[in-house]
Chains A and B, each alone.
Chain A
Amino acid sequence: MQTKGFWPAGVMVILLLAAVPGISRGITVPDTVTLNSQSKLYKPFDFNHAKHIQIMRECSYCHHHTTGTLVQDPNCIRCHRNSSKTKIVSCRGCHLADPFSAAAIKENNPKNYHNDTPSLKAAMHRNCIDCHEKMKGPSGCQDCHQRTKEGDAFYNSGEFVPRNKPAKGGHSGH
């Protein structure tokens, strides 16, 4: 009864964009970036940056106003019409790993415009999955990252598939 890791299931904790040094003005574009290195439920994997550059040919689709040609989004160009490229272009440079910590919530300055910046994990899963669905790319959880044994236990899947008989008081309809 196990669904072989198509798009249901999720991801755990902090993906880290490794590499991408801050001095990217010197143009050191990595060919691969190791993602998900902090997760316990899914294994780390190498994101093929070079292949995505080939397909997309436009950096700003993922990197917003930090690199590539200027953003076109009418909402962004109100401020970033003439923004120059920034020193920091890595995802984790702006997207927090832990946006809901007490400190992060307290720091929330209502005068800042970007008060609703998604976490690093959310930035990846929203940008990647939305684009993959649009471009008919793979969009299942394990299409990108394989689940660990701990992950199987977490989702009661794989070798941890429930063997109990339908018990009383379980999932029932209305």
Chain B
Amino acid sequence: MKRRDFLKGCLISGAAASLGPPSKSWAVGSFEGYPDAMGVLVDTTRCIGCRSCEAACNKEQNLPEPQLPFDDTSVFEEKRRTTENAYTVVNRYETKDGQKPSYRKMQCNHCNEPACLTSCFVNAYTKTKEGAVIYNGKVCVGCRTCMVACPFNIPAYSYSSAFGPVIKKCVLCYHTRLKFGRPPACVEICPREALTFGLRKDLIKIGHERIRATPDRYFDHIYGENELGGTSWLYLSRVPAEQIGLDETVGNEPIISNVKEFLGMVPMVLTIWPALFTGFHLLATRNKEHGDDHHNHSEQEDGKK
């Protein structure tokens, strides 16, 4: 084989390898979640919109006094979202089946592969082995990238703080309860056990068993079992999830999958390519002194073939 053919071959195969779809072994392995991760199964068919979970969260996390009492149902007039003063809110949804409205509690879903964590460039976020997605407010620089990254619109921002605004969100009561094996405050207060706390893997079984035992009561789907690679908070409902404000267009791939293959390529580009192309360059310019002669000679040889 002629050197020119060899170089050509190298270039073509190299380019093909780097531009084509990277093999699975290159990509960063996908993460199925910690085996002993805890979670909460939200059975919206049991929720009566009493807002006790909101009150419990407010007291547990030492959040400021609310604008309205926690037993005031006028808040259901509008769809609320989480704020720096409320890490969880309950919203009311009129469903299409004409039955009484459904209520759904909203808070951080504690994804197995959190987009907020992936997007945070100061590594403020941690996914603990207990399943909580916590964050270190001391290193947060307030860039709000996680607010953009979160597919559930959960992280809130302390806009009210003029000098040290940071991200605020539900941490599954990690520091005060979860760490010590206790359920989050919202779960403990819930009068009807609309919130069931347990190992995530057990909750999935329990959820499917509830659907199997009382199929008339449920739409056959557990939201969060597979969505976005799985979340620690799981939802059962009477109606399709979209009717209670859960986004069904998110897909089952974690957000990081959108960039994982590209990011998996970066180390290769940064380490192998410089060496490879330096080598090519050295090879190509080794005999540069009599390069022209060689070039002509090689062309002649090609012509002979």
Binding site for B on A (CB under 8 A): 1-3, 5, 7-13, 75, 99-102, 105, 108, 110, 115-116, 118-119, 121-122, 125-126, 129, 141, 154-157, 160-162, 164, 166-174
Pairwise interchain contact B85-A100, C-beta atoms closer than 8 A: no
**Residue among A125, A167, A170 with max Cβ neighbours from chain B (10 Å):** A170
Pairwise interchain contact A75-B85, C-beta atoms closer than 8 A: no
Pairwise interchain contact B69-A172, C-beta atoms closer than 8 A: no
CB-defined A-B contacts under 8 Å, sample of 18: A1-B68, A10-B52, A10-B55, A10-B189, A10-B191, A12-B189, A100-B182, A100-B187, A110-B202, A115-B206, A121-B193, A122-B193, A126-B192, A154-B70, A156-B70, A161-B69, A164-B67, A167-B67
12 additional A-B pairs beyond A119-B193, A156-B66, A171-B86, beta carbons within 8 Å, are: A9-B52, A75-B214, A100-B187, A101-B181, A105-B202, A154-B56, A155-B71, A157-B71, A162-B68, A166-B67, A167-B160, A169-B84
Interface string of B235-274 (1 = CB under 8 A from A): 0000000000000000000000000000000000000000
A94 nearest CB across to chain B (Å): 14
Pairwise interchain contact A100-B198, C-beta atoms closer than 8 A: yes
Pairwise interchain contact B67-A170, C-beta atoms closer than 8 A: yes
Complex CA–CA separation, A172 to B81 (angstroms): 7
Q: Which of A8, A162, A164 contacts B50 (CB 8 A)?
A: A8
Number of inter-chain CB pairs below 8 Å: 144
Find residues 29-86 in chain B having any chain A CB closer than 8 Å to their own CB. 46, 48-52, 55-56, 58-59, 64-73, 75, 78-81, 83-86
Q: Which residues of B contact A170 (CB under 8 A)?
A: 66-67, 83, 85
Q: Is B190 an interface residue (CB 8 A)?
A: yes
Closest residue of chain A to B184, judged by CB? A100
Given known A9-B51, A169-B85, A171-B83, contact A100–B191 (CB-CB < 8 A): no
Q: Which residues of B contact A171 (CB under 8 A)?
A: 66-68, 75, 80, 83, 85-86, 89
Q: Which of A108, A119, A166, A169 contacts B202 (CB 8 A)?
A: A108
Closest residue of chain B to A13, judged by CB? B188
Complex CA–CA separation, A7 to B51 (angstroms): 11
Q: Which residues of A contact B49 (CB under 8 A)?
A: 8
B129 nearest CB across to chain A (Å): 15
Closest residue of chain A to B46, judged by CB? A126
Pairwise interchain contact B182-A169, C-beta atoms closer than 8 A: no
B39 nearest CB across to chain A (Å): 11
Pairwise interchain contact B188-A100, C-beta atoms closer than 8 A: yes
Q: Which residues of A contact B75 (CB under 8 A)?
A: 171
Q: Which residues of A contact B158 (CB under 8 A)?
A: 169
A83 nearest CB across to chain B (Å): 18
Q: Which residues of B contact A108 (CB under 8 A)?
A: 198, 202
Complex CA–CA separation, A58 to B244 (angstroms): 37
Q: Is B26 an interface residue (CB 8 A)?
A: no
Pairwise interchain contact A156-B81, C-beta atoms closer than 8 A: no
**Residue among A99, A100, A129, A160 with max Cβ neighbours from chain B (10 Å):** A100
Complex CA–CA separation, A167 to B254 (angstroms): 36
Q: Is B94 an interface residue (CB 8 A)?
A: no
Pairwise interchain contact A162-B192, C-beta atoms closer than 8 A: no
Q: Which residues of B contact A101 (CB under 8 A)?
A: 181-182
Pairwise interchain contact A169-B206, C-beta atoms closer than 8 A: no
Complex CA–CA separation, A9 to B48 (angstroms): 10
Complex CA–CA separation, A9 to B52 (angstroms): 6
Q: Which of B51, B182, B210 contacts A102 (CB 8 A)?
A: B182
Pairwise interchain contact B193-A155, C-beta atoms closer than 8 A: no
Q: Which residues of A contact B65 (CB under 8 A)?
A: 156, 162, 164
B210 nearest CB across to chain A (Å): 7
Q: Is B131 an interface residue (CB 8 A)?
A: no
Complex CA–CA separation, A13 to B188 (angstroms): 8
Complex CA–CA separation, A11 to B158 (angstroms): 31
